[in-house]
Amino acid sequence: MPRIRAVVFDCYSTLIDIKTNEQKDEVFHYLSLYLQYYGAKVDARKLGLALDLGKKQCFQSAKERYPEIDLEIVFRNILEKEGLVNPFLATSCCKLFRVLSRERFQLFPDSLPVLEEMKKSGYPIAVVSDAQKVFCLEEGEMLGLTPFFSHVIMSTHLGFRKPDPRLFTIACTLLDIPPAETVYIGNDPETDVKGAQAIGMQAILLDRDGENMEQEPKPDFYATNLWEAWNWIRNNF
């Protein structure tokens, strides 16, 4: 088995411990109040329905096998129908929507220590994430992750999601390291393991709760925390 020379991470639920609830009534209540400052009179229920419909239409119009939507575009379309043509406003609505819907947002205890060890050992590190570009980079910055990554590849920049193998190919190309010498660490068998192995990357399934051990496809290694993943990388190659 080839020596691992680079590590690519999933972001949310792998490095960042996050829980969101985008259907909470207060999310759309406060968004509708915020929009009143810009002259929009849209009630909370109507705003929630418009967001759901906008997402659905974006997915239906996409031509990708694993399509991704851009929340910023969805909000921009909603605002234009309300007579508000303001790119900044769409961006700010996305960020406010994110803050209001977040119920937990923190690093896992092992995230920074393991990243520090990898960086000290000279491993190039990248991220491939199904993430909204309007807030993903800033969230990484807030939690101190940004200095560790050579590259961050987000699905919203490209219009398609994992397990589309092109996302993983882009990461290896940017790192300038062959897939066989790169390992991907993620928490989802279907999107993370399947996508990485499709291009010949090795894959570690991070299963902190022990819920995915029987699911297919099988990873090259199971880990219940990032220390186990890191020890496997160091000790087996």
Q: Supply the DSSP string of 148-186, one letter for each residue.
A: G-SEEEEHHHHTB-TT-HHHHHHHHHHHT--GGGEEEEE
What is the rounded CA–CA span in Å between residue 12 and residue 176? 25
Domain residues for the domain of 36 are: 20-103
* Alpha carbon separation from 151 to 1, 71, 108 (Å, rounded): 25, 22, 21
In 10 A of CB 79, how many CB atoms?
21
Averaged pLDDT, 5-21? 97
What is the rounded CA–CA span in Å between residue 16 and residue 99? 15
Sort 209 into a burial class: Cβ within 10 Å, 0-12 / 13-18 / 19+: exposed
Per-residue model confidence as pLDDT tens digits over 195-222: 999 999 999 999 998 777 777 889 999 9
* Residue 235 pLDDT: 85
Residue written as tokens 């050579």?
150
* Residue 237 pLDDT: 63
The residue type at 120: K
Per-residue model confidence as pLDDT tens digits over 167-193: 999 999 999 999 999 999 999 999 999
If asked whether residues 133 and 219 sit together in one domain, one would say yes
Domain boundary (103, 136, 160) is at 103
If asked whether residues 114 and 188 sit together in one domain, one would say yes
If asked whether residues 98 and 110 sit together in one domain, one would say no
Percent of the chain with pLDDT strictly greater than 90:
90
Residue 1 resides in a domain? no
pTM given for the model? 0.94
* Alpha carbon separation from 67 to 81, 130, 209 (Å, rounded): 24, 10, 28
If asked whether residues 174 and 226 sit together in one domain, one would say yes
Whether 184 and 167 have beta carbons less than 8 Å apart is answered as no
If asked whether residues 79 and 135 sit together in one domain, one would say no
91 token code pair = 């961006």
Whether 166 and 160 have beta carbons less than 8 Å apart is answered as yes
Gap between the terminal Cα atoms of the chain: 8
Per-residue model confidence as pLDDT tens digits over 78-93: 999 999 988 799 999 9
Domain boundary (54, 75, 103) is at 103
Selection from 3, 203, 231 nearest residue 114 by Cα: 231
Which stretches within 2-70 are classed as H helix? 25-36, 44-61
Q: Could you tell me where the beta strands, DSSP code E, fall in the chain?
A: 6-9, 16-20, 102-107, 125-129, 151-154, 182-186, 202-206, 221-223
Q: Mean of the per-residue pLDDT values for the chain?
A: 95
If asked whether residues 72 and 11 sit together in one domain, one would say no
